[in-house]
Structure 1
């Protein structure tokens, strides 16, 4: 796999992020645990030295002059007498000359001495320091200042020191064990992360297989059991597939309809052009013009259907209803001025809008309103109402109306109930087809005035 594809891989990103976070967490946990262990060991070592200091303080003796001393024979711990054993004590008078320090000390110091910090702790208060002892060994020093009640002017500093080498060794051993343990834990967590990535991305592999089946024609939709987080994507994609299948099927139907509609004009023209047919030029020209006009009308109509089908679900289409209705009423009033029809409409809110193109709304309402004007005696009225996400528009006239058994027939293209009335018989069919393309509907019923009421339902903008 190329490097750029590895960088963009969801699996690689997931693993890198998980392993990096895990490594940082383990390192911080290791540092914290090691520090905690080291602090605990030092506290235990300090407690042990403080206990030794208390025991030495209890064995401290003063003479009449206030001179302090400790009898080594009274000490039970054998380390006090073993040279360089790692446990030492020293007794110095506070304020004495430096060369006199270390005159009283444990045999374990041998010919060396302790060098405590030059501070002045309060009486009975314990001070803790770190320093260097015999042979350069690091020591922890615990000291206390004491005095005799009989000679309060003389103060003595009692120091107990313990070797820190064992503490360092214990801390190092713990660090090695902790490092190995965290490394083992890190390996187990890395394996768990790999398993988690494999399990977490398994639905994507199933989706890839479903896409392969779809591409190779083994299925028409994405099929399979997917997690709840992925299922909305699958549903949307299947919706797109259904929409594309619908568009393809509609295109096939439109092509078939257009081919079928053009067969008759072409057959008539072919017959008129036959050598055996004798006709005067004027009749032939009229026939050709009539058939070409019919073919052009069919082509324009199918192109319009194709345009509407392509644009019906595009976002952003919004056509206010009231201006379209008012404009059509003004045009029809001039067209039918000689008949003195009463053309009117209800007041419509300015925010009522059709979710489609303006010219399509004009064509649908124009056909309905013009048809009503052709058949009306005195009055045509337009009303509208909002029903959820639909606009329901009604066009009523007071004409003769249409019998219920004939209403379905007049919605077919080219059907006319009265040949004396001008028109091509395509008006209501055009309205029905355009409404269907916008997932709307057209219905016909009786108007309260006795004429026809056309009711068209169209999608409304939010």
Structure 2
């Protein structure tokens, strides 16, 4: 079994190898074409010269009164006609009858040899060209024509002129040698230019590598310098990744410090309670409830920071999506059971079918769950939930609206309601983290939450979040996604 030869990993060698192969093929094709054109040109010139000699032989050819052919060699200008095996020959054949008479007249240069031309049909005056073997096996180029000396005569004379191709072949060979040397020099110059081009073209990658080494060694925080426009997007994206990693590290340190501070405070409170119970045994009965409250505070803080960490990690992650319809339906089913004793009515209107949140499903459940839970706590009898697509003006977004018919929140207090730990009514259950969690998670995803007055008379919470561009119909909750506006009403019975 033959093993495949691995390609070199060097981009420089790949470019040079591809350039060499392409240039070599182009040079070889050019050499083959130029050599063929030159050979064709020389051959045509050779044929033209032989045709001129054939015209001279034809002009000097005569037939006497007895029908015998005559041609005076002295009347031919080229002295090679008389020099034996000089490389230039003429011959006259008589084509009378079925068997032609070859060499009725011939040049002295043929000596005792004859020209053997192929037997083909020629019209009067037509010239044919052949390649034949001559004296001593020499390669000859032969031109021929037939003539009739007078009207009414049946005798046809075949005039042949041939010349040795050695001079032509030598000229072509000399030209090919010069052409090969020239093309070899051209190939070398082209490869030198290719090497220069590759070195200059890949020089920015060396600068990029030096910048990466500086970032890895801690001498720089970002890639700096001017790069070509083909490389600059890569540098920008890499710098974006570095900045995002820096932000994640800073955020993680801040969250770890906040969580440690929150837990440390609760631990200190519980330790103080334990010391107080030891010093005052009569307070020991209240200690379990006191510890339970502090554990609940710690649990909420842990959940708070876990939600923030999960949202920060999922922000901008490709391929993460959560369909809105099934999440809303599941939350309403849970809330209808949690607040069953209040007999609330849940009105759901999902305007856009197949809406999907570009983030983790748990985060969508966290945000919507807090908004719906808050609405249920304050609603008198009804909670309205709607979801729709925001007309695109950049990043695609979706709008989630949760309304109730409760007392609402005064305009001057709505901004404070989103702050962490703020409780506008100390008598109501909760820790003041619900709306703050929604606010911070939405900001981590590049969204926002706004509080206002709803058409039901209570609080209206409007949540803007990023959405996926493709809207895929869900098969999980057909009641929410059927038609342009699907409405579902849930009744929480006591």
Same fold (TM over 0.5): yes
Structure 1: unaligned runs, 5 residues or longer: none
Which residue, 425, 450, 457 being the options, matches 1:443? 450
Aligned to 1:159: 160
Among 415, 425, 431, the residue aligned to 1:408 = 415
Cα distance in 2 between the residues matched to 1:326 and 1:414: 29
1:291 aligns with 2:294: yes
How far does residue 347 in structure 1 lie from its aligned partner after superposition? 4.4
Tell me the C-alpha RMSD between the 2 structures: 2.8
Structure with the bigger RCO (C-alpha within 8 Å, sep 6+) is 2
Alignment pair present for 1:220 and 2:221: yes
Match of 2:230 in 1: 229
* Residues 1:325 and 2:328 are matched in the alignment: yes
Q: 1:362 to 1:110 in 2, by over 3 A?
A: closer
Q: Structure 1 CA distance, aligned partners of 2:415 and 2:227?
A: 46
Report 1:84-233 matches (<5 A): 84-94=85-95, 101-149=102-150, 152-233=153-234
Q: Contact 1:441 / 1:458 at 8 angstroms: preserved in 2?
A: yes
**3-state SS of paired residue (2:103):** coil
Contact 2:96-2:155 at 8 Å conserved across structures: no
Matched with 1:26 is: 27
Which residue of the partner structure matches residue 45 of structure 1?
Answer: 46
For residues 343 and 175 of structure 1, the distance between their equivalents in structure 2, rounded to whole angstroms, comes to 93
Report how far residue 422 of structure 1 moved. 1.9
Count, aligned residues:
460
Tell which deviates more after alignment, 208-217 or 327-336: 327-336
Q: Which moved more, 1:112-121 or 1:178-187?
A: 112-121
CA shift in 2, pair 1:100/1:386, >3 Å: closer
Cα distance change on mapping 1:454 and 1:97 into 2, 3 Å = closer
Within 2, Cα distance between the matches of 1:5 and 1:100? 71
Distance 1:339 1:65, change over 3 A: same
CA distance in 1, matches of 2:222, 2:369: 41
2:185 is paired with a residue whose SS is helix
Where in structure 2 are the equivalents of 1:266-415 lying within 5 Å? 266-274=267-275, 278-280=279-281, 281-387=284-390, 388=392, 389-415=396-422
Is residue 418 of structure 1 aligned with residue 428 of structure 2? no
- 1:119-157 C-alpha deviation (Å, 9 max, x unpaired): 453332222222233344322222222232166122222
Equivalent residues in 2 for 1:247-262, closer than 5 Å: 247-262=248-263
CA distance in 2, matches of 1:187, 1:324: 69
Residue 453 of structure 1 aligns with which residue? 460
The secondary structure found in structure 2 opposite 1:142 is: strand
Q: Are 1:66 and 1:150, in contact at CA under 8 Å, matched by a contact in 2?
A: no
How far is 1:69 from its partner? 0.7
Name the residue aligned to 1:242.
Answer: 243
SS at match of 1:407: helix
Structure 2 CA distance for aligned equivalents of residues 190 and 179 of structure 1: 16
**Offset of residue 357 of structure 1:** 3.4
* Distance in 1 between residues matched to 2:328 and 2:137, nearest whole Å: 105
**Could you list the per-position Cα deviations for residues 178-207 of structure 1 after superposition, in whole angstroms to 9, with x for gaps in the alignment?**
111111111111111112221222232222
CA offset at residue 254 of structure 1?
A: 0.8
Could you tell me how far apart the structure 1 residues matched to 2:336 and 2:299 are? 29
C-alpha distance in 2, partners of 1:384/1:345?
9
User: Is 2:322–2:358's contact at 8 Å kept on the other side of the alignment?
Assistant: yes
Normalised by the length of structure 2, the TM-score is 0.84
Provide the C-alpha distance between the structure 2 equivalents of 1:115 and 1:5, rounded to a whole number of angstroms.
Answer: 60
SS in 1 for 2:425: coil
Runs (4+) off by over 6 Å: 96-100
Per-residue Cα deviation, 1:63-103 (whole angstroms, up to 9, x for no partner) = 11211111122223323233333222222322589997435
| CA 141–330 in structure 1, closer or farther in 2 if over 3 Å, else same | closer
3-state DSSP of counterpart to 1:351:
coil
2:307, 2:363 within 8 Å by CA — same for their partners in 1? Answer: no
Q: Distance in 2 between matches of 1:456 and 1:340?
A: 26
Match of 2:486 in 1: none
| SS at 1:395 equivalent | strand
Instruction: Supply the distance in 2 between the matched residues of 1:99 and 1:349 (Cα, whole angstroms).
Output: 100
Query: d(CA) in 1 for partners of 2:102 and 2:435?
Result: 122
> What secondary structure does 2:247 align onto?
helix
Q: Distance in 2 between matches of 1:283 and 1:308?
A: 38
Shift of 1:337: 4.4
Question: Equivalents in 2 of 1:97, 1:80: separation in Å?
Answer: 30
Aligned partner of residue 146 in structure 2, secondary structure: strand
CA distance in structure 2 between the aligned counterparts of 1:317 and 1:76, rounded to whole angstroms: 96
CA distance in 1, matches of 2:72, 2:380: 138
